[in-house]
Amino acid sequence: MDRMLVVVFDNESKAYKGKEALQLLNREGSIGLYAYAVVSKNPDGTGTVKQSDDTSPLGTLTGTSIGSLIGLLGGPVGLAIGATVGFLAGATADIDNARVGADFVDDVTKVLLPGRVAVVAQVDEEWTTPVDTRMESIGGIVFRRALSEVQDTVDDEEVAGIKADIAQMKAEHAQAHADRKAKIQEAINKLDSKLQARLQLAKDRRAASEREAQAKAKVLKAKAAAASSNAS
């Protein structure tokens, strides 16, 4: 199952041990590890992306589900490692693109207190015991959530709604008196800008979903090849 994992630790040293444990589980074939990042919460409430894995099967994290979640927890993934940003406030990623739900983010942030460090990872995980056992032995608190697949429908509905509003306002513009035409046209222009932004966002999301699907196929193929090699 395609899942998002967030494991919260008391300090950075334990978090890096947690990251290494995930990498080991991936090599063992217990999970498929698509991408990860280590994110800390500073005493002043800001977050720092300490380390991320842009050499993962997902490639750059920007625009992906894990990138969006990192944006909500610790700042835009496009920033250089070590960049400091506010948690939740001002994040460039939106909750819909993270595909985990606002309640999941809320649960994590209640535990990811100042001074604590989290490993955020997108994984293919068939059962929870391997990760939970390793992380508990290091002192990590595990949060996990299966990724939602409904965002395309939401995007399509929002785009359809904006197009309907534009069509209605254009009809009104055609019948309006001269003194109203300019105001209606201004409203149409604003809606059109919003429409273009939503269309681009939907396009970016679909491209990210395709990259994630390709990455998952790559990970599963590698696991199958490793299993075959071990069996022979």
Digit-coded pLDDT (tens) for 217-229? 776 677 677 767 7
Tens of pLDDT, residue by residue over 70-103, are: 777 754 444 444 544 444 333 444 666 677 777 7
Q: For the whole model, what pTM was predicted?
A: 0.66
Q: What is the pLDDT of residue 139?
A: 96
Please report how many Cα atoms fall inside a 13 Å half-sphere around the Cα of residue 211, on the Cβ side: 20
Lowest mean pLDDT among 24-33, 53-62, 183-192, 222-231: 53-62
Domain boundaries, the chain: 2-146, 151-231
In this predicted model, what pLDDT tens digit does every residue of 13-29 receive, in sequence order?
A: 999 999 999 999 998 88
Q: How far apart are CA 56 and CA 65, in angstroms?
A: 14
Instruction: Tell me how far CA of residue 93 lies from CA of 23, 62, 73, 136, in angstroms.
Output: 26, 9, 10, 30
129-138 vs 12-28: helix crossing angle, rounded to 10 = 150
